[in-house]
Amino acid sequence: AVFHSFQLLQMNKQNNGTSCSIQIDSMNNHSKLGLLITIDSIHEVCEGKKSEIFRRYADNRFDPNCCFSIYYGERVKSLDLVSTNSEEARTWITGLKYLMAGISDEDSLTFSEADKNGDGTLSIGEVHQLLHKLNVNLPKQKVREMFQADTDENQGSLAFEEFCSFYKMISTRRDLYLIMISYSNQKEVMDLHDLARLTNYMRSPAGDIFNPEHNQVNQDMTQPLCNYFISTSHNTYLTGDQLLSQSRVEMYAYVLQAGCRCVEVDCWDGPDGEPIIHHGYTLTSKILFKDVVETINKYAFTKSQYPVILSIENHCTVPQQKKMAEYLKEVLQDKLDLTNVNAHECKKLPSPEILKGKVLVKVTLVCLLFRKRKTMRLSRALSDLVKYTKSVRVCVFLFYLAAYTNSWQVSSLNETVMNQILQLKPAELVRLNQRQLLRVYPSNYRVDSSNFNPQPYWNAGCHMVAMNYQTEGRMLELNQAKFSSNGNCGYILKPKCMCKTAFNPALEDPLPGHRKTQLVLKIISGQQLPKPKDSMFGDRGEIIDPFVEVEIIGLPIDCSKQQTRVVDDNGFNPMWEETLVFNIQMPQIALVRFQVWDHDPIGRDFIGQRTVAFRSMMPGYRHVYLEGMAESSIFVHVAINDITGKVGCFKNKNWHI
């Protein structure tokens, strides 16, 4: 529905104090809407009648100058609003964009929040509650001693300045102090102010484990497309499961802005000669093909300039295929790559650099058995748009003829078939991937839109491993970590051994004669680790007993995990001081996953994680910030050695062997 005659009721902070929110009240057709939206959940504010909902109103009922849409939430919902006049709409749009630009993380535990009775001071009881909320377990006597040391004339309460002093006392980093002393030959050459400055520096982006140079494109982008892993989305239009969820054009904007370079479009005949997109033979909702193409045109190159592959699963009849071709040419115009390709002369695919700003069309013609073997034809108009990405079926015989396949052919296989091939012919699969593009997509049995583990397919050089971007979790986090190492541009250069030579990822020694790598991780401490999100008692629950688990995800021979001991009753500043050692055969494609858990007598509760590509890790003392938790981190020391103990090189060119 479209809501008008609305008003802003209030702007406030969420209970945890980490983000601002707006509360909107509206009267529409005698039904009241009350909606609370956090500013940091807003993806975009669009002026005019550009959303799917507004497009349904073709009768010019609303003035476009008074209309705007707010796209928000994990699944990119739209809130469509009509103001009383254009000036009011302009004020809303400008104000929301200003707030979106100005939102920043801040400490959630402020003096006013700790002051329960509102008298402007903190009593011993309020301080003890604050410490419990901070995940600090101190005996009451110790709290009393610290409390009295920071209270003027032992008044029994803390004013604001005294509270700041008290907070500095409990948050002083003992781990950094010990490091500072060890590098100064046991002499205290720095005072507490110097320690505070060192702490601020180590907690700044300069002290993060992620290499800041990898926030930009840092790899060679001039090699053929088949030499790259390509960030790929499965059934891009869906917001949830494969059977009942909504289809939304906004999902294309979401995945493209997340760095995805290959999106999927399932096309079917629609009413009035208009092709539609939905998951066939299910109850998922339908959207117009034209609207999707317009959205792709708008967002294709806002995040990355490298080519977008439009993977079309075509169920349409020839007349509607012609309509699809018309829309692609009319909307995409010069973005649509129409380069003439000679099948006998095109031995190599072009590079991402050459194809910058271009959209490539890949079309799969689908003819299902229960259509009584009805013949499906591909229209000439649509087939003419397919240049470097012609869909072909893969058979076992093809693996033995990989050297003779056309480089511009693309094969798509589901995970079930791929797993069989990985078991039987892994080296042949790598060989095929050296010549042409291969796409892997989830099994039809994943009706809940769950994701498979992408790593085994990357190990075999599969280019396009399709993920359900609407489903968060471990597997999508691995995908995000992999593509973050090249500026999140959607393309990752494969190791040379996957591009030119015989390579078998299943062997115990896949790279004979090459140096092996040793990763030495010292897990030193943790900072402000929260209680588990799904804790039954929330902030009132027990103080956590954290431990850290580190996992290497890569070739089968490299996959392993280790963990630290458990620290009892301390989520604020636990100390582990434990060293974990990993031997890795092929670090070029490995991911390192840090996970923090709360130990429980009957199991463990997940607190947070950070996954980093091995090649993106910085050496030395580093903070590993947990995803989505600005202040929560673990402090580590990273050392990378070759098998003889020599220090490994971190230059990007040396990672591409």
Rounded CA-CA distance 566/512 in Å is: 39
Helical spans, DSSP H, in 337-454: 380-383, 396-400, 415-424, 426-433
Of residues 43, 214, 234, 279, which has the active-site annotation? 234
Options 43, 214, 278, 463, the catalytic residue: 278
Q: Name the helix (H) or strand (E) containing 582.
A: strand 575-584
Q: How far apart (Å, rounded) are the C-alpha atoms in residues 67 and 151?
A: 56
**Residue written as token pair 């790259």:** 228
The pairing of strands 276-277 and 287-288 is antiparallel
234 is catalytic: yes
Strand order in the sheet with 517-527: 575-584, 517-527, 633-642, 620-625
CA 376 to chain centre: 38
Say whether 128 is catalytic: no
CB 256 within 8 A of CB 298: no
Query: Distance between CA 461 and CA 224 in Å, rounded?
Result: 14
| Whole-angstrom distance, CA of residue 448 vs CA of residue 450 | 5
- Cα→Cα distances 255→82, 301, 302, 312, Å: 28, 12, 11, 16
Q: Which amino acid is at 462?
A: C
3-class SS string, 482-513: HHHCCCCCCEEECCHHHHCCCCCCCCCCCCCC
Question: Tokens for 587?
Answer: 């670090």
Direct distance between the N- and C-terminal alpha carbons of the chain, in angstroms, rounded to an integer = 56
Longest dimension (CA), the chain: 92
**Distance separating alpha carbons of residues 520 and 615, to the nearest angstrom:** 14
User: How far is Cα 46 from Cα 398, in angstroms, rounded to an integer?
Assistant: 49
119 exposure class (CB count in 10 Å sphere: 0-12, 13-18, 19+): exposed
Cα 366 to Cα 326, 442, 512, 625: the distances in Å are 20, 17, 43, 45
Pair 262, 233: CB distance under 8 Å: yes
- CA torsion, ordered 420, 421, 423, 427, to nearest 10 deg: 180
Structure tokens of 447? Answer: 């009706």
d(CA 308, CA 352): 10
Q: Which residues pair with 622 in a beta bridge?
A: 636
Give yes or no for a contact between 657 and 497, defined as CB atoms under 8 angstroms apart: yes
Cβ atoms < 10 Å from Cβ of 256:
25
Q: CA–CA separation, 221 vs 120, rounded Å? A: 59
Q: What angle do CA 404, 409, 415 make, to 5 degrees?
A: 105
The tokens 């999508």 sit on which residue?
A: 476
Under 8 Å CB-to-CB from 461, ≥6 apart: which residues? Answer: 429, 430, 433, 434, 494, 498, 499, 503
Catalytic residues: 234, 278
